[in-house]
Chain A
Amino acid sequence: MSGKASRARIVYHLARADFLERVRRYSFLVTLGFAVYLGYLGVTGQIFLNLGKYQAVYNAAYVGGFMSYVTTVFLTLAGFYIVKNTVERDQKTRVGQILAACSMKKLDYCAGKFVSNFAVLCVMVAVLAIAGVGMYFLHGDNSGFHPVPLLSTFVIFALPAMAFTAAIALLFETIPGLRSGFGNVAYFFIWNGILVLGAVAIFTKSAHPFLDLTGGFSLWSSMAAALTAKFPGAEVNSFALSIAGAPNATIGVFRWNGFTWNAVLILSRVFWLSIAFGFTFLSAAFFDRFEGTTARGSKDASEAAAAPRAVETTETTTIRPREHLSLAMLTRAKSRFRFGAVLVAEVRLMLKGQRWWWYIIAAGLTVASGAVVSREGRGILLAFAWIWPMLLWSSMGMRESRDQTSQILFSAPHPLARQLSAIWLAGFAVALLSGSGFGVRLLVGGDIRGLQAWFIGALFIPTFALALGVWSGGNKLFEILYVLLWYLGPMHSIAQLDFMSAAPLTAKTRYPMFYLALTGVLALAAVAGRKRQLQT
């Protein structure tokens, strides 16, 4: 077998094994469930394309264009978090150590992982394409089912976007600073930036298809051309996917028969594919062949990674005379349980590994959220003060499974009453302390209702983190949902989602009480989840 064929075989088997391992896990069913749900929202009209005063006829081309746009917008975000665990899985299952000892090239490994990521996303795209066909038969016009215009947009737009998502997820996993929670947060803002870029492009009418990952600009410009052909002078003055609400009243209906594929359009998609391949090559450059398997991502981790060499020296010096110490000579263990000691230990565990500058920024945000004159400004600063410790909260309830200490910890007395409550209190203490500037200012100003709403926010955050950590066994779910909630609620002043009452008016609504009730439910869920873990 030639070298190239042999490498292709390695890539194929890497991708195949990884793909099979993924699809045979229960979590893949949840993933598919998400795609089915997304398709359902599209089919039932709960997600629709808001074109302002005009509406396109539901022909096969429009259904294909709309559903592929839904796919690219949502799966470039959710898909990233879904597939960003392929290298981590090899590390956790310790298969990585075996792979690292093989003659496989780093590029082969990354190519295999990219293909597997891409394949998983393609399965989800296929589900949404099937939903698109279903949507056509439910709501489509009578012009006949034309599979090519319906499905071609999936192939031309969705697949390159999925390749990009698959590759950037892999890249994030191979770059030390991005593989952890920080990377999860960073990607949310990158994705948001990509969407904003698309929106700016549409409204300034100046974008280039090469900057259009989701295909939104191309779809808009093609539909705008169809609209003006029927209604000269008319404009598609809105182009957005709406999740809630009803479409605007329309003053005209137009027919869009799909894209006229041209070289620029095709090349723009090839461009995104090239970016994906480039990211895969870049991943291979960063991939460390599981060298830092035991601990990653912090100063301590780098010390730890450097330690084994020193350790070997220590081990070789173990054969030396040393003082004889028997069990009878050991200090007697005295029982005297103090909850404070457990709490201090949990706080220390939570804060371990943070650098000095982390505390400086946290303190700065805390002080600023109390010191700024404007109430709106203080609200925004509270939002930042309560996003900064997010990675501390995201390890609550999952640390035991991540670090495989559950057997030791759960065999200690009263694991629920002692350890779980101490974890929660540690998270609550972090929330109180980091938000204290804002809280003190409310207290000084006599804003009792605001103080109450702020306190509910401080209760909600660690409880939310603990419940998701216990039930998901990982940090990712909390990080994704928390950032999403934070971005939409406190940052965009959507009162329903403003769990910390950062906006001045939120405290006066009934939503803080809703979050108090939700906190109670989440607390029960966390206890139930931990009980379940104790009783496996």
Chain B
Amino acid sequence: MQLEIQGVSKQYSRSTWGLRDFTLGVQPGVLGLLGPNGAGKSTLMRIIATVTRPTEGQVKWNGEDILRAPDSLRAVLGYLPQDFGVYPHLNAVEFLEYLAALKGLDSVSARRRIDDLLTLVNLSDVRKRPLGGYSGGMKQRIGIAQALLNDPRVLIADEPTAGLDPEERVRFRNLLSELAGDRVVILSTHIVSDVEAVATDIAIVASGRLIAHTAPESLLRSIQGKTWEWIIPSAELPATRQRFVVTSIARRADGVQVRVIADSQPTQDAVAAVPTLEDAYLACLHAHRAGAAA
């Protein structure tokens, strides 16, 4: 079971590229796709989900080109788009029944699965209410339920936790961990903690290009011994930002606690800190931007 993205580019206009020569192989597990806004994550998701055609390149599912034969992937695909709508006059059950029919599911088992999924996403109580009256978080949960309808082998979730409350977010992360075993799960987000919790692999995208593809542990190892913390007066914050890659700041009674990435100890007061995935991600982005500027 493998998804291969080979030299994929997407050009929107003469000077605007969503993706440039993007190559990535995805194995079963959860791939966390990280990148800043506008990096090209959603474009990549839409291409893999067969709703957008790339300008160049190929996407293969188990060796079959999905641009030529998209239905081979669609049959096993669950897709949760970043921005999607629902039919406001249908209730949750009717909407999911409609999608189950389109996905070619047996109606009896689909009905039972819909019941289960609505319980899973905690919408059983409002199953008969028109979707037009759902809150943003509830619509997102309907989106999650529809993506899981056909028990997908490939699940693509684009910013899935947007609009979810903390409890639902944790539930969704657990769900993804459960799914990971023998499926390909691609989770696109800019919330590093979501990836940190579930990803078995990480791909970092910036300016439409793949800048890193590695295991989380390996990414963390890359900044081992390079994360530092110390307290500075507030007035020194702008200068510190200019000199170092600041990954976080916290106001304290005695000043500002800064956390930076640096190859060597920045000041006498700085103490080594345990690196997080967010530190590693920001360091990677910074290195890419510095390289691009040079």
Q: Are A307 and B133 in contact (CB under 8 A)?
A: yes
Binds A, one of B116-124, B191-199, B216-224, B277-285: B116-124
A5 within 8 A of B: no
Q: Are B103 and A413 in contact (CB under 8 A)?
A: yes
- Residues on A with C-beta less than 8 A from B77 are 411
User: B175: nearest residue on chain A (CB-CB)?
Assistant: A327
- Residues on A with C-beta less than 8 A from B103 are 412-413
Q: Are A334 and B106 in contact (CB under 8 A)?
A: yes
Q: Are B85 and A352 in contact (CB under 8 A)?
A: no
Q: Are B109 and A405 in contact (CB under 8 A)?
A: no
Partner of A342, one of B86, B101, B120, B138: B101
Binds A, one of B146-154, B205-213, B266-274: B146-154
- Residues on A with C-beta less than 8 A from B52 are 536
B49 within 8 A of A: yes
Q: Are A301 and B113 in contact (CB under 8 A)?
A: no
- Residues on B with C-beta less than 8 A from A323 are 119
Q: Are A328 and B178 in contact (CB under 8 A)?
A: yes
Q: Are A333 and B150 in contact (CB under 8 A)?
A: yes
A404 within 8 A of B: yes
B228 within 8 A of A: no
- Given that A341-B107, A414-B71 are known contacts, is A307 also in contact with B129, CB under 8 Å in the complex? yes
CA distance A352 to B74 in the complex (A): 28
Q: Are B88 and A304 in contact (CB under 8 A)?
A: yes
A252 within 8 A of B: no
Q: What is the CB-to-nearest-CB distance from B30 to chain A, in angstroms, rounded to a whole number?
A: 14
- Given that A301-B89, A403-B87, A413-B104 are known contacts, is A319 also in contact with B133, CB under 8 Å in the complex? no
- Residues on B with C-beta less than 8 A from A404 are 83-85
Q: Are B130 and A327 in contact (CB under 8 A)?
A: no
CA distance A353 to B109 in the complex (A): 27
CA distance A441 to B184 in the complex (A): 59
User: A311: nearest residue on chain B (CB-CB)?
Assistant: B135
B65 within 8 A of A: no
Binds A, one of B20-28, B92-100, B243-251: B92-100
Q: Are B89 and A333 in contact (CB under 8 A)?
A: no
A331-356, CB under 8 A of B: which get 1 and which 0?
11111111001101100110011000
Q: Are A300 and B167 in contact (CB under 8 A)?
A: no
User: A407: nearest residue on chain B (CB-CB)?
Assistant: B81
Q: Are A325 and B119 in contact (CB under 8 A)?
A: yes
Q: Are B51 and A407 in contact (CB under 8 A)?
A: yes
- Residues on B with C-beta less than 8 A from A308 are 133, 135
Q: Are A319 and B167 in contact (CB under 8 A)?
A: yes
Q: What is the CB-to-nearest-CB distance from B92 to chain A, in angstroms, rounded to a whole number?
A: 12
Task: Specify which of A327, A341, A408, A410 lies most central, judged by the most chain B CB atoms within 10 Å of its CB.
Answer: A408
CA distance A307 to B129 in the complex (A): 8
Q: Are B130 and A333 in contact (CB under 8 A)?
A: no
B137 within 8 A of A: yes
CA distance A306 to B137 in the complex (A): 17
The interface size bin for chain A is 35 or more
User: A303: nearest residue on chain B (CB-CB)?
Assistant: B130
B288 within 8 A of A: no
- Residues on B with C-beta less than 8 A from A322 are 122
- Residues on B with C-beta less than 8 A from A332 are 109, 113, 151
A318 within 8 A of B: yes
B149-179, CB under 8 A of A: which get 1 and which 0?
1110000000000000101100000010011
A509-536, CB under 8 A of B: which get 1 and which 0?
0000000000000000000000000111
A419 within 8 A of B: yes
- Residues on A with C-beta less than 8 A from B119 are 323, 325
A263 within 8 A of B: no
A206 within 8 A of B: no
- Residues on A with C-beta less than 8 A from B129 are 303-304, 307, 310-311
Q: What is the CB-to-nearest-CB distance from A92 to chain B, in angstroms, rounded to a whole number?
A: 11
B53 within 8 A of A: yes
CA distance A465 to B119 in the complex (A): 39
Within A284-320, which residues are at the interface with B (CB < 8 Å)? 294-295, 298, 300-301, 303-308, 310-312, 314-315, 318-319
Partner of A333, one of B102, B110, B133, B146: B110
Partner of A345, one of B83, B98, B143, B149: B98
CA distance A408 to B50 in the complex (A): 10
Q: Are A303 and B133 in contact (CB under 8 A)?
A: yes
- Residues on A with C-beta less than 8 A from B83 are 404
- Residues on A with C-beta less than 8 A from B230 are none
Q: Are B97 and A327 in contact (CB under 8 A)?
A: no
B126 within 8 A of A: yes
Q: Are B84 and A399 in contact (CB under 8 A)?
A: no
Q: Are A318 and B104 in contact (CB under 8 A)?
A: no
A91 within 8 A of B: no
A406 within 8 A of B: yes
Q: What is the CB-to-nearest-CB distance from B52 to chain A, in angstroms, rounded to a whole number?
A: 6
Q: What is the CB-to-nearest-CB distance from A504 to chain B, in angstroms, rounded to a whole number?
A: 40
Q: What is the CB-to-nearest-CB distance from B131 to chain A, in angstroms, rounded to a whole number?
A: 8
- Residues on A with C-beta less than 8 A from B71 are 413-414
B90 within 8 A of A: yes
- Residues on A with C-beta less than 8 A from B17 are none
A103 within 8 A of B: no
B36-63, CB under 8 A of A: which get 1 and which 0?
0000000000100111110000000000
Q: Are B133 and A306 in contact (CB under 8 A)?
A: yes
Q: Are A408 and B79 in contact (CB under 8 A)?
A: yes
CA distance A524 to B123 in the complex (A): 41
- Residues on B with C-beta less than 8 A from A303 are 129-130, 133
Q: Are A411 and B51 in contact (CB under 8 A)?
A: yes
Partner of A334, one of B51, B105, B116, B179: B105
Q: Are A331 and B113 in contact (CB under 8 A)?
A: yes
User: B146: nearest residue on chain A (CB-CB)?
Assistant: A408
Q: Are A408 and B84 in contact (CB under 8 A)?
A: yes
CA distance A415 to B117 in the complex (A): 24
B75 within 8 A of A: yes
User: A335: nearest residue on chain B (CB-CB)?
Assistant: B104
User: A536: nearest residue on chain B (CB-CB)?
Assistant: B52
CA distance A120 to B125 in the complex (A): 48
Q: Are A412 and B87 in contact (CB under 8 A)?
A: no
User: B139: nearest residue on chain A (CB-CB)?
Assistant: A294
Q: Are A345 and B89 in contact (CB under 8 A)?
A: no
Q: Are B102 and A331 in contact (CB under 8 A)?
A: no
Q: What is the CB-to-nearest-CB distance from A30 to chain B, in angstroms, rounded to a whole number?
A: 21
A418 within 8 A of B: yes
CA distance A301 to B77 in the complex (A): 32
A234 within 8 A of B: no
CA distance A311 to B138 in the complex (A): 9
- Given that A407-B46, A413-B71, A413-B74 are known contacts, is A310 also in contact with B53, CB under 8 Å in the complex? no
A330 within 8 A of B: yes
Q: What is the CB-to-nearest-CB distance from B93 to chain A, in angstroms, rounded to a whole number?
A: 12
- Given that A311-B138, A408-B79 are known contacts, is A318 also in contact with B165, CB under 8 Å in the complex? yes
- Residues on B with C-beta less than 8 A from A360 are none
- Residue pairs across A and B with Cβ atoms less than 8 A apart, 5 shown, are A304-B88, A326-B178, A331-B113, A333-B151, A336-B104
**Residues of chain A at the chain B interface (Cβ within 8 Å):** 294-295, 298, 300-301, 303-308, 310-312, 314-315, 318-319, 322-323, 325-338, 341-342, 344-345, 348-349, 352-353, 399, 403-415, 418-419, 534-536
Nearest 7 A/B pairs, CB to CB? A307-B133, A404-B85, A295-B132, A304-B132, A337-B104, A295-B88, A336-B106
**Residues of chain B at the chain A interface (Cβ within 8 Å):** 46, 49-53, 71, 74-75, 77, 79, 81, 83-90, 94, 97-99, 101-107, 109-110, 112-113, 115-117, 119-120, 122, 125-126, 129-135, 137-138, 143, 146, 148-151, 165, 167-168, 175, 178-179
